[in-house]
Amino acid sequence: AQSVSQHNHHVILSEAASLELGCNYSYGGTVNLFWYVQYPGQHLQLLLKYFSGDPLVKGIKGFEAEFIKSKFSFNLRKPSVQWSDTAEYFCAVMRYNNNDMRFGAGTRLTVKP
Amino acid sequence: DVKVTQSSRYLVKRTGEKVFLECVQDMDHENMFWYRQDPGLGLRLIYFSYDVKMKEKGDIPEGYSVSREKKERFSLILESASTNQTSMYLCASSRDRVTQGTQYFGPGTRLLVL
């Protein structure tokens, strides 16, 4: 079974610091990759996704992620975080031509003003 | 915008009760999913459905069943609630297999089983 690992459970940063959240998956075939975000009290919403093409994907609110196939990784980055980025971030993997998605355990990000 | 609604935001039930969680999506999506979200465990897939009257087990189906009688509605049933089913339950939908669409989530139902 495929699994998704997120390396950090809780990350605390000051505003303007750079962010990188790690995500690795175990499935060896073609995959679609996602980052979702859950702001306090809100729905899970899509931040960005990778299906094919350029492995550097840009999402909403200045986030980006890079797919490195050889490392089975899809790390999320943001050059300068804001207090409003405080949220929980989930990496998710879907096998190609399948529709059941597997999520990582999540990383809680706290940005101090 | 896709809208996924769940029948309750908060629910308190007693051990042994039968519990129904309802989910409705308004975008004619083929696929619907039920997850539970627990701290430190992320989202775990309970059941999903590709079509009306079809269902597939996810990673943790034990103690749960589902029903999909209409395309827009996907129900999660706890036949006999237990305290270890206290959790946040999330419903999601996505377009179809071909487009491998993004999943859209409802607001969640926080269930407490006493």
**Residues in chain A closer than 8 A to B41 (CB atoms):** 105
Cβ under 8 Å to A: B residues 52-111: 56, 58-59, 90, 92, 94, 96-97, 100-103, 105-108
Give the whole-angstrom CA distance, residue A46 versus residue A23.
16
Count CB neighbours of B32 within 10 A.
Answer: 27
Total of domains in chain B: 1
Distance from the Cα of B89 to chain A's closest Cα (Å) equals 12
Question: How many beta-carbon contacts under 8 Å exist across A and B?
Answer: 57
Q: Kindly determine whether residue A101 and residue B106, on different chains, have CB atoms separated by under 8 Å.
A: no
Domain A4-112 bears CATH identifier 2.60.40.10: yes
The whole domain housing B30 covers 4-113
- Spell out the domain ranges in chain A: 4-112
**Which phi and psi (to 5°) does residue A61 adopt?**
60, 30
**Residues in chain B closer than 8 A to A96 (CB atoms):** 100
Report the CATH number at residue B18: 2.60.40.10
- pLDDT, tens digit (0-9, with 9 covering 90-100), for A43-85: 999 999 998 899 999 999 999 999 999 999 999 999 999 999 9
Structure tokens that stand for A78 in this block: 């943001």
Confidence of residue A99 (pLDDT cuts 50, 70, 90): low
pLDDT in tens, chain B (114 residues): 669 999 999 999 999 999 999 999 998 999 999 999 998 899 999 999 988 989 999 999 999 999 999 999 999 999 999 999 999 999 999 987 655 568 899 999 999 999
- pLDDT, tens digit (0-9, with 9 covering 90-100), for B38-67: 988 999 999 999 889 899 999 999 999 999
